Structure 1
């Protein structure tokens, strides 16, 4: 029997995806586990990230569909956005999705759940939680991230929104300036533009700068087609308030200055790790520029303390947090450690069309491997995309000459679902030729994978030595046939 003063096997700090997976997994294995969360279980993804934003993406998509319904032979009136109803639906989805994160469920698993308290390290084996000291053999830090706000003169005084405050709006602003062109900035820009808001993006980089450059160029064109004004290559310099409007001044590297007026400013310029109250220095845990420093085992600079999720600064996605948590949990509880491998971890930006990626870009692959092959297919050549009226986009599969898949990039309808076939292929060493030979249902969007992969066999069969050999074979057969005709008896 465990005594109350015995150390825990594991203390998990943070009740988002990484923390919940760690705590539930540890308790299910029979470990004595405590979970510390100062707010609510569910984390940023549930309340301020994936769940609410994708709910808004759907509402914005419906608005766009109504607006363009005549393209499908259906007459309708222009959409009227009932924004309070949109936000009420969003909150309902959050509530429904959050049922799985009820504290009672984790207590039933045997987790000692401590809500409303912050943890602070006293040493590498002890944290203070409220007035209690919790000793543990191992820890997993999963405190997540928060919006990083750039030091723009006058921004604090003028006021701004982050991904948290923008989801608390009850009225649509007439105009919105978005600082940043990463996934968060692009998604919100398109959402509000489709709701009828005048949206401007101001960013030093092109849209989705971490993606293949061809992807960014297409998404910029898509955003502009939805009415978004994109100022690429500009940094915010100052903000002031004039006649109730927020006036942003931005400059580019050549000193050119632009002025943008809007009702609201949304900051989407990156994320910072949440570590402020942890007193990590007491435990010997180092924090780098982007997050807590971890090795390939997700171990921090303290041997018994691990970190998972956004707080590490790597792959800030919910599914990546879950993936990290499973690795951190194994390593925190058992002596044989497992390395984490990010080579086949995908992600998706939920613009319309969606942007999905796994592995290396074409440029990254060339830098690492030299000569690579790229097989591609435009959605304009996929029959189901034609039928659905969603032909904007393409797929690129980046491979070595032997067909090993190094990366895949999909811009198109339902790309986030389509990419998983390629993720599995990379993880299991399935080559691009096998994708080509796999029967895909017709007509489906997933056929874009097969059609892109078909390029491998087209080149293999119709080009190079094989193509020459086939042409020689059939040429010889025709000549032999003519000889037989000439010498046929009678």
Structure 2
């Protein structure tokens, strides 16, 4: 086969890879985008979009079942599992189609479908033996599901986010392993769609929440809907002819063996790097086999190799992958002129109900870097006006700021409209606003965001900057 000569080779055509291609192509005409698997980003195929489609169906069912307190009588709610999954798959295909249109718009000479590995730091080789000589290379191979040892013997009845959306209908029962963001989103959605769900975790984590008080609150709230044991003892999970059997210690201290149709493994994802033969690059790798890189330039050491997206194991979120792809692609395109790119304020959202949001520095980071130098503002949404109007009055928000400067540092929330409040707070953090400046911003009435104002007022008072918090402050309107 004739070797390929190219200035920039990008391995992986997901969100990060396509971003890297566009950025590099703006700087050089010699770019090759290589994909060894299915086209269509993780988000569109097996992540953000199909999971939100399932969640949307679950929210519709939940709202119908809980309409009576409003004086609205819904006599019966019937879930058509096949119809639910058909819509998920139909709309997912549409989203993937948008990605495929983008791929097809790339010149055929700029893309290659092949699995590759490194022969050396400037040479890739396909499984068919074709050599690709690249002056610079961007690794954007994404991630793959991780299975804990207790689940590695399962086959037919094992689900991950890679295949759960292929189900022809909803199962009757589901054991979810991993109460992180993905497990909590899918587990709660399945439960609200009538699936018997039990969720098992290790270490006490719930939806990625770092603040122990907020985590305990969320744990209690979720347990009102379905069984969640965040620190479970599971002895074995065995596949049977009709499903799986989970042998676990229940809350009463009794060992139980319970059957389920499927197990959903939501125990995290790891960089998909195993097949790249990175040892041939000479790069220094960390203990997880990921090349060491500068997170502002995405350059691996002093090499001409760059990391981007989930393969970097940095922040596995779509907007972060897009940013990393752009930074890596620009630096690969202009190499050796390496420049730092914008890394935005950390923002994560978990689409459970109530939602979870984390912005800026979390409590662990604050205790590490600002110990004794920050204050915490708090609001409960249980008595917040608009939240009570909508019967979504469950949750808590904590906001953090630096003593002396009043600089807003971060926040964590479990509550209504967290996806929107999280964005407001991320913008404030990236603009390096003080709490006083944030309180100068407009707050309409009645909105859930008034709860944010209450938390900020509490925070400003604890910073010894603002006045005492007025209970039932009527200039904000009742229930604000």
State how 1:8-87 maps to structure 2 within 5 Å. 8-87=6-85
Distance 1:461 1:121 in 2: 59
Distance 2:46 2:158 in 1: 16
Larger RCO (CA within 8 A; separation ≥ 6): 2
Report the Cα offset of residue 78 of structure 1: 2.6
Which residue of structure 2 aligns with residue 349 of structure 1? 350
Kindly indicate whether residue 230 of structure 2 is the aligned counterpart of residue 225 of structure 1: no
Aligned residues: 458
Kindly indicate whether residue 288 of structure 2 is the aligned counterpart of residue 298 of structure 1: no
Task: String of CA shifts for 1:208-236, please: whole Å, max 9, x gaps.
Answer: 3552222322222222222x112232243
CA change 1:215–1:462 in 2 (3 A) is closer
SS of 1:462 mapped into structure 2: coil
Distance 2:151 2:349 in 1: 33
Distance 2:308 2:215 in 1: 29
1:100 to 89, 98, 101: 98
SS of 1:12 mapped into structure 2: strand
Distance 2:152 2:432 in 1: 53
Distance 1:446 1:31 in 2: 48
1:170 to 163, 168, 171: 168
Which residue of structure 1 aligns with residue 393 of structure 2? 391
1:148 to 146, 149, 152: 146
Of the structure 1 ranges 348-357 and 83-92, higher mean CA displacement relative to structure 2 is found in: 83-92
SS of 1:298 mapped into structure 2: coil
Distance 1:449 1:336 in 2: 43
Structure 2: where are the runs of 5+ without partners? 470-480
Report the Cα offset of residue 159 of structure 1: 3.9
Report the Cα offset of residue 399 of structure 1: 0.8
State how 1:302-381 maps to structure 2 within 5 Å. 303-334=303-334, 335-339=336-340, 344-371=345-372, 372-381=374-383
Structure 1: where are the runs of 5+ without partners? 465-490
Of the structure 1 ranges 75-84 and 338-347, higher mean CA displacement relative to structure 2 is found in: 338-347
CA change 1:210–1:284 in 2 (3 A) is farther
Report the Cα offset of residue 51 of structure 1: 0.7
CA contact (8 A) 1:121 1:280 kept: yes
CA change 1:314–1:328 in 2 (3 A) is same
CA contact (8 A) 2:24 2:332 kept: no
Distance 1:425 1:152 in 2: 43
Greater share of residues in helix:
1
TM-score of the aligned structures, taking structure 2 as reference length: 0.87
> RMSD in angstroms over aligned alpha carbons?
2.7
CA change 1:106–1:306 in 2 (3 A) is farther
CA contact (8 A) 2:89 2:165 kept: no
